Structure 1
Amino acid sequence: MSSSSRSAIEAAIQSYQDPYLKQDLLSAGCVKSLEIDGGKVQLSVELGYPADGLVNGVAELLRSKINNVDGVADSSVSVSWRIASAPVQGELEAFTNVKNIIAVASGKGGVGKSTTAANLALALAAEGARVGILDADIYGPSVGMMLGIADGIRPEVKNEKFFMPIQAHGIEAMSMAFLITEDTPVVWRGPMVSGALQQLLTQTLWNNLDYLVIDMPPGTGDIQLTLAQKVPVTGSVVVTTPQDLALIDAKKGIEMFNKVNIPVLGVVENMAVHICSSCGHSEHLFGEGGGTRIAEQFGVDLLGALPLSMMIREQTDSGAPTVVAEPDSQITMIYRDMARRLAAELSLKNSQAAAAPAISFSDD
């Protein structure tokens, strides 16, 4: 096949714009091989984000585009994905067996941050990734209950030093709740809380995770600073609701991450709209478009907007969050779309950081 025909095939591949990378696969560096033998074409694509729900559809779409090129008799397209380890900046040490760390935060409580963190972790796992979740809310841990882990279950201890994470719904979990009872309040000052968080982070033996999702406590206090200073966080997600009060605090959260040089991967807007279960009427109870405005203001993505839904609350309270309780529901599809968006944004930032030249200074 002539070079002009190769150009035509490459143009056909470039006509597909990946909705999550926001560019064609050639420009994104996802094309691993393109072999042309007469009228037969073999294409291999490797995405940088988990996409079990997409790979078959993308492969078929690319195959159709290539087969429409003049001179192509048949084509074979394989699409896979692989998660790379994030480059560690500064003097922080990379976490053993954890490729990427994602902090899910909010400026204030009551916006559905923990529910979002749990469902995003489960959505990443549903796309094929190896995922863990760490409950960093020392005062009010809730991830264990959300994942259906009964009160009183304790993690195994290895070598009298390390915690083995608890398995739930296909992901690994660690929380202060696994070390105390539901009725035991944590009455600690800031340094003790920071120390407890560091112990949970450094003494948990995660098993080769692609992503560790950290459910942060609300606010911008000691735990957030500890995380920024001691942990190689790859990126963050800020959760808000549309009302002005929540948006003010969400802005503070974004500014905090910017000041400590942790990339904000995007904003999640919870309780964006209420849809009446009886008549189907939709109403924006807490305001409209707040997540979009804050995302535009700070130049980050709006990863998604979720409705005010009793189902989300009931399923999370029962220990089976929506992504596992209703895997084919519309809300689960929103979570999985958000998971792919944040993972794709993370892969782009990782590749940019890895490609950046090192700068050294001398006295010459």
Structure 2
Amino acid sequence: MWRQTSLLLLVLLLSANQCVNCQCVPGDTCKAPDCRCWDDPSIPGGLTAAETPQVVLISFEYTVNKGNVDLYTKLLKGVTNPNGCQATATFFVQEVNTDFSVVKTLYDEGHEIGMTSSDGIIPSDAAEWLATFQLMKTKITDVFVPEDQVVGSRAPELSVGGDDQFAAIEQVGLSYDSSCSSSEYAYRDNMLWPYTYDYIYRTPKCTIGRAPESAHKGKWQFLVANLRYNEQNCATLSACSPFIKSSQDAFDMLFESFSNHYEGSKSPFVLYIDPLWLSVDYQYEGTRQFVEFVRSGFGDTWFLTTQQSLAWIKEPVTSDKAIDFKSWGCS
């Protein structure tokens, strides 16, 4: 009996030590700028919400070519940020049917180029994730997009590939992913800032696919908080499309989601838009109205790339100094 009790105490002590080693402690086991705990409630730099610029991250995925690029770019045409620079977006491109000369033009205009799988199909294992990301990095850099500017990924259908995907992210030299959608962390009082996978203890689960179960040092996740409209909960705009009947409906859904960020901790508003959403006239009109309204009515709000947002998270400045923040300047 004594021996069994001693063994049990030893197991408990070892478990406690392991838990200490796996816990993410801001400023202790996890230090800025290259590590951030998922449950850290503070704003980067210790800023208050009033001091923090609100960032909107519009992103597109899959095929980009001359036949559809105008559908994307007209959404931000003529829209400028508080520093006078053109509003920008992030394109997570695939190989199939993509015109990479158009991709280069988008990059030259200040947009960010990231990657999804080469064919828009979810890879089935680690080897497929690695092969598709290696191919995509080659395709993008072959048109003279600098390799050090290709740093982001998104899984097809927001279906996160867990450790298989993040092993590929590490091997290909990417910095972040923006695939993990969440219906849990999608409310004003619990919106999450982007976090790293240095520690994976109790990190958020993803609504689709699977989050990593092993640590991936310095690799960031830009969580996609679900949208809500009329008691519906949607990972993407198109998923809510059946409930949207007018441009006013589209505007209201977008503005409600924006307000949850703006009136909360000012965490980045990740907005994933696909061509099906924009191809419906009243949905495009409502989205454009949202962009114009936010930029005209909220002087501390910026439409940026994911990479620009990450640069601020690593080196935060107050909203009144953001106009001079180098990473947010014009290309």
Answer yes or no: same fold by TM over 0.5: no
Give me the TM-score of the superposition, normalised by structure 2.
Answer: 0.38
Give me the TM-score of the superposition, normalised by structure 1.
Answer: 0.36
Bigger fraction of residues in helix: 2
Larger radius of gyration between Structure 1 and Structure 2? 1
Which structure has more relative contact order (CA 8 Å, sep 6+)? It is 2
